[in-house]
Structure 1
Amino acid sequence: MKIGVYSPNWIGDAIMALPFISELRDQNPNAEINVICKDWVSGVYEENPAINEIITIKKDSINNIIGTLKTGWRLKLRNFDQFFTLTDSFRSALVLRISGSNKRVGYKAQMRSFLLTKSFHRSNKRIHRSRKFLKMLKIEQNVISDPNIYISEKEKIWAKNEMKKLKLNKPVAIFPFSVAKNRSISNSLIKKWIKNSKSNYLIFGSKDDAIKGYSLINQCKKNSIKSICGKYSLRQSILLMSLCYYSLAADSGLGHVSAALGLPTISFFGVGYPDKTGPIGKNTLIIKHCSPCRGNDCENISNKISCIKQISKSEIELYVSNLLKM
């Protein structure tokens, strides 16, 4: 049996798809499972023993109807017996239909159900995205297995050598940036939290974050801090991340990666709902805070929501200490 899985397009969502892929393998131990994904998220799936092949789609190759048709025709050659889409887009369902797979599975969305052979209703309740994916495999339990990222021995050697070139030993990873500005952590907060620290810090981010990374370094001149924003691929960044001590993360895909690696992770979650899209991991602490900050006009009285501006360095140190004991 050949099974295709059309991956989510965002790094965090791809991480949340990993329990689905693991369960899919458990239910189909002898199947050939292929993951179809945008090239920028493929690093999440590399070395995963549940996956036989990763089929990548270039960023600009599917942005129009011609590209979508070509992708479907390309996948038709794969002869998938069953094909899941983990995105709710019309385009992904059209790709599944063109692929010719006899069993095409996904959620009802964007009037695309006629393109699928099995379509699920989205829950009216707020459930974690990992659970949403798993429901397509008839998995209903509330407890979600942790996502796992796999790293080969060869990759571990590369990461150790690369970290030596950076002249760092178990640095603290910082992921302060996000696609949405209101999900990012300000330079002033990072500066406050790491003030007078003797630790080494390593800033991760995309090429678009490079200038912001250097800006953060300039504000933290008294700290040992470096930026590798845009200098490595996602996969290489994952390998370097695995050697870090712990991480401070904005609500971003890299926060999900850190949690999936088992790295002690403090995730600052402003916009949205952590119980729906928060990172999952045994060593992960999610701090829900107001966003945007309303300053003196704030009316938040919930004990479950923090004011990020009032979180002190000592509180961060306590959070880290508790995580490292887990």
Structure 2
Amino acid sequence: MNIGVYSPNWVGDAVMALKFIGRLRKQYADDKLIVIARDWVAAIFDNHPLINKVLPVPTKELAGVFNTIKTGRSFQKLNLDIFFVLPDSFRSAVIAWFSKSNTRIGFTGQMREPFLTDQMDLPKEAIHRSEKYIYLIQNDEHALDFQHVGITLREQEIKWANEILQENNVQDPIGLLTGSVAKSRSVPIGKWIEIAKDKSADDNKFVIIGEKRDAGNAQKIIAQVGEDRVISFCGKHTLRESIALISRCRAVIAADSGLGHIAADLDIPTISLFGAGDPEKTRPLGDLTQVVTANVHCSPCGDNICGNTLEPMICLDSISSTQVWNTYSDLHN
């Protein structure tokens, strides 16, 4: 059979879907597994040993009703027998319907039901998002002993990352993943400066990894901490290259972000700073990962923009650099 998976649309969610991929492969061991993903998240699934094909979809091909229908019809050539729709969006269900796959499985809501053959109600209990995706797999009893396979880098990608660090005279750095799509999850610049200048930071060198939009803040951090201790790769590399650079870090301190999920999945010691986000639902998964939170009265609010006008960003401002470095010590002991 041909099994299709419509990936979540955000990097962190795509990483959290990798456990779903492991369960799915266990259940459909001999079938062809095709992951369809927006172009900005397709790198998460690249070179994955459990996936037969990754099909990136350019954003422009999903703009508007006509392009959405056209994209769905283009998937008819895949001859999908089963299509798992992981996003909750109306658009993703419409695309699955136009693919003419025999079975289309997804969650209810947003008037998606007519486009799905198998509609699943969202779990009523609070569960981690990775488990939410797995909830879509029916008759999952035989897949409980699956082996998780995370992001898989090629040897040449690792070699490239080592060469980039050597060219910049950096060895065994600590990664600072400062950016986040949601403003409420973006750690204030002053907090990053406090963390990097804390006495517990010793003489560690830092590399800031992120998108082009993070470059301005990275330069402000460098101006305060020093070019001899911090360099920025923001906006200079593809997502796949950024993954390779993260894999070469001794440890990572991350905002609640997709890159934080990547670091955790790579088994890099990862400290995730959470404020608005709920760790019970979206914490990064990894054996060497810990979440740091201030547990203030208004968090986790789950909002993308801070609504606390009297104490804006108190959830992240209240995290101390001492908390961060104590957690770092715990991870390295």
TM over 0.5: yes
Kindly state the Cα deviation for residue 315 of structure 1 after the two structures are TM-superposed.
Answer: 3.4
Within 2, Cα distance between the matches of 1:93 and 1:10? Answer: 17
Within 2, Cα distance between the matches of 1:14 and 1:130? Answer: 9
The answer to whether 1:323 aligns with 2:325 is no
Q: Does structure 2 retain, via aligned residues, the 8 Å contact 1:89–1:110?
A: yes
Q: What are the Cα deviations for residues 137-189 of structure 1, in whole angstroms up to 9, with x where unaligned? A: 14489999766111122222222122212221111000122112221112221
SS at match of 2:48: coil
1:301 alignment counterpart: none
2:10 alignment counterpart: 10
The answer to whether 1:280 aligns with 2:280 is no
The answer to whether 1:76 aligns with 2:76 is yes
The answer to whether 1:251 aligns with 2:256 is yes
1:231 alignment counterpart: 236
Kindly state the Cα deviation for residue 271 of structure 1 after the two structures are TM-superposed.
Answer: 0.6
Within 1, Cα distance between the matches of 2:269 and 2:146? Answer: 18
The answer to whether 1:212 aligns with 2:214 is no
1:189 alignment counterpart: 191
Within 1, Cα distance between the matches of 2:215 and 2:146? Answer: 35
Within 1, Cα distance between the matches of 2:39 and 2:134? Answer: 24
Q: Does structure 2 retain, via aligned residues, the 8 Å contact 1:36–1:54?
A: yes
Within 2, Cα distance between the matches of 1:317 and 1:143? Answer: 36
What amino acid does structure 2 have at the position aligned with 1:165?
E
Q: Does structure 2 retain, via aligned residues, the 8 Å contact 1:4–1:33?
A: yes
Q: Does structure 2 retain, via aligned residues, the 8 Å contact 1:147–1:281?
A: no
Question: How does the TM-score come out when normalised to structure 1?
Answer: 0.91
Q: Does structure 1 retain, via aligned residues, the 8 Å contact 2:292–2:323?
A: no
Kindly state the Cα deviation for residue 293 of structure 1 after the two structures are TM-superposed.
Answer: 10
What amino acid does structure 2 have at the position aligned with 1:134?
I
Aligned length: 318
Q: What are the Cα deviations for residues 262-310 of structure 1, in whole angstroms up to 9, with x where unaligned? A: 0101101111311111111111101123465979979xxxxxxx96545
Q: Does structure 2 retain, via aligned residues, the 8 Å contact 1:15–1:147?
A: no
What amino acid does structure 1 have at the position aligned with 2:106?
G
- Inter-CA distance 294–108: structure 2 relative to 1 (3 Å threshold): closer
1:179 alignment counterpart: 181
Question: How does the TM-score come out when normalised to structure 2?
Answer: 0.89
Q: Does structure 2 retain, via aligned residues, the 8 Å contact 1:146–1:260?
A: no
CA RMSD across the alignment: 2.4
1:151 alignment counterpart: 153
Q: Does structure 1 retain, via aligned residues, the 8 Å contact 2:26–2:146?
A: no
What amino acid does structure 1 have at the position aligned with 2:327?
Y
- Inter-CA distance 62–319: structure 2 relative to 1 (3 Å threshold): same
2:168 alignment counterpart: 166
SS at match of 1:61: helix
Kindly state the Cα deviation for residue 129 of structure 1 after the two structures are TM-superposed.
Answer: 0.7
What amino acid does structure 2 have at the position aligned with 1:53?
K
Q: Does structure 1 retain, via aligned residues, the 8 Å contact 2:22–2:147?
A: no
Kindly state the Cα deviation for residue 3 of structure 1 after the two structures are TM-superposed.
Answer: 0.6
Within 1, Cα distance between the matches of 2:93 and 2:4? Answer: 12
Within 1, Cα distance between the matches of 2:279 and 2:330? Answer: 20
SS at match of 1:77: helix
Query: How many percent identity over aligned positions?
Result: 37
After superposing the two structures, state which structure 1 stretch, 157-166 or 79-88, moved more.
157-166
What amino acid does structure 2 have at the position aligned with 1:274?
P
Q: What are the Cα deviations for residues 28-51 of structure 1, in whole angstroms up to 9, with x where unaligned? A: 111111100011111111111111
- Inter-CA distance 317–151: structure 2 relative to 1 (3 Å threshold): same
Within 1, Cα distance between the matches of 2:278 and 2:178? Answer: 19
